[in-house]
Amino acid sequence: MTGPVAFVLKGYPRLSETFIAQEIRALERRGLDIRIVSLRHPTDPSVHPVHREIVAPVLYLPEYLHEEPLRVARGWRNARRLPGYAAARRVWLRDLARDPTPNRVRRFGQAMVLAAECPPDVTWLHAHFLHTPASVTRYAATMRELPWSVSAHAKDVWTTPEWEKREKIADCRWLVTCTTGVNADHLAALAPEPTRVELVYHGLDLARFPPAPETPATADGGDTDHPVVILSVGRAVAKKGYRVLLSALAALPPDLQWRLIHIGGGPMLAALRNQAAEAGIDGRIDWRGAQPQEAVLEAYRSADLFVLASRVAPDGDRDGLPNVLMEAQSQGLPCLATSVSAIPELIEDGENGVLVPPDDIDTLAAGLERLIREPALRHRLGAAGARHVQERFQLDAGIDRLAHRFGIEGPSSSQCA
């Protein structure tokens, strides 16, 4: 491939999407000329260090069409002159008949602006997420008669209608996704040929997560002055299972000494705080909100145990392979998680972490109590988790495969840094 590639994202920059930012920066280091297109403006109060390293220019599309009517009108006027506009309009009208929503109209409006304003030297469009970003990308690529590809992750895979997934996979050049049995097998079954779908783990940039200084695990929940520090990093949304986690914590013996640190924003934060207060455990919880990567890394290194109670939400949304688990393991932090989605691809129960069934308060509470009381077990699992991430989940392996997909061959990003 020659020429710049436009990466279409739902929002940029986002603290919760470090995996996308590290991928963009690693591909830039390989020599890929990237232009970022964002459907939304940023809302987070800070950025990660990797965002400051990315050199790609950013084009923000109209988030809501009525807010920039003149720009949308110019986009429509210019897009109508493009060779693939009529074909894109037919695709969109067919989609609109099956999904007659304002969001579907907004996607086509954003696509017209993208097709009109995208630099003429861009030769490829790539969407992160199979739902909205891929729709905008597909319509715009059709208008410009350009090839396009997509990275599918978690919610987008499981909340997008099957008809839409089939048609997008058939239309794009290739699709990569970050988990095997959960995502890749499902999507490959919908593809015109299975080879169009490839598994590419996000991996972890260990240059940003170097091994933590080794400190002995001694806290066992019996000392009021040294409680076991439990950390959880994730957005306060249904699929992260924080209601279940709070219920499990409330079920622990009252004399067991622990403290929970939660990092992440999300719409359920107020409700979770109310739940903690009603359960009488709010005094043991430190709600820190969304944090930059430096603060998250320090929290990993200061904690004794990492917990993520992922579950399948009522609308089908679920995690893929949460990067926060890899990050925690890279720091030698023992992880307690649920056997949902692709998490068992990272954590093997009893070997490099502990897995419990999702939505099982009693089993989660038992796992928490055991790990709180047994520092030697935490140390063993944490060390095994760190080795596992270093051996199987480094960033470079996935970037090698992505770079090949984009037509770039060369040294790994660590050699180019």
Amino acid at 223: D
The correct CATH number of 228-392 out of 3.40.50.300, 3.30.1780.10, 3.40.50.2000, 3.40.50.10860 is 3.40.50.2000
d(CA 59, CA 41): 10
* Dihedral sign for Cα atoms in the order 5, 55, 234, 266: negative
Residue 375 has pLDDT above 90, yes or no: yes
Give residue for tokens 């009208």.
93
**pLDDT for 350:** 97
Query: What is the rounded average pLDDT of the residues 56-67?
Result: 97
Look at residue 388 and tell me whether its pLDDT is greater than 70. Answer: yes
For the chain, give the longest Cα–Cα distance: 72
Q: What value does the mean pLDDT of the chain take?
A: 94
Interatomic CA distance for residues 92 and 90, integer angstroms: 5
Name the one residue in this structure whose structure tokens are 């006027």. Answer: 77
Q: How far does the chain reach from its first CA to its final CA, in angstroms?
A: 22
CATH topology identical between 5-203+394-416 and 228-392: yes
Give the model's pLDDT for residue 416: 36
pLDDT at residue 176 in the model: 95
The pairing of strands 174-177 and 197-199 is parallel
d(CA 296, CA 284): 19
| DSSP H stretches of helix in 253-374 | 269-279, 293-302, 323-330, 361-373
pLDDT attached to residue 202? 82
Which one-letter amino acid corresponds to residue 17? E
Higher pLDDT, 108 or 199: 108
pLDDT at 394 over 90: no
Does residue 256 or residue 216 have the better pLDDT?
256
Question: Is the model's pLDDT at 417 over the cut of 50?
Answer: no
The per-residue pLDDT for range 98-115, each reduced to its tens digit, is 999 999 999 999 999 999
Place of tokens 């080794």: 214
Mean pLDDT of 84-109: 98
pLDDT of residue 181: 65
Model confidence at 60: pLDDT above 90: yes
Q: Does residue 144 surpass a pLDDT of 80?
A: yes
Nearest alpha carbon to residue 261 among 285, 226, 234: 285
pLDDT given at position 1: 55
Q: Is residue 240 over pLDDT 80?
A: yes
Q: How confident is the model at residue 28 (pLDDT cuts 50, 70, 90)?
A: very high
Residues 334, 371 contacting (CB under 8 angstroms) = yes
Q: Residue 184: pLDDT above 80?
A: yes
Asked if the model's pLDDT at residue 414 lies above 60, the reply is no
The answer to whether domain 5-203+394-416 has CATH 1.10.3720.10 is: no
Reported pTM: 0.82
pLDDT of 58 higher than 90: yes
Dist CA 411 CA 25 (whole Å): 14
Three-state DSSP class for residue 103: helix
Radius of gyration over every alpha carbon of the chain, rounded to an integer in angstroms: 22
pLDDT digits (tens, 9 = 90+) for 314-362: 998 888 889 999 999 999 999 999 999 889 999 999 999 999 999 999 9
Query: Is the peptide bond preceding residue 13 cis, with omega within 30 degrees of 0?
Result: yes
What pLDDT, on the 0 to 100 scale, is given for residue 318?
87
289-to-15, 172, 192, 325 alpha-carbon distances in Å: 11, 37, 43, 18
Give mean pLDDT, residues 108-133. Answer: 97
Q: Show me where the domains of the chain are located.
A: 5-203+394-416, 228-392
Per-residue confidence (pLDDT) for residue 295, from 0 to 100:
95
Identify the residue with better confidence: 44 or 11. 11
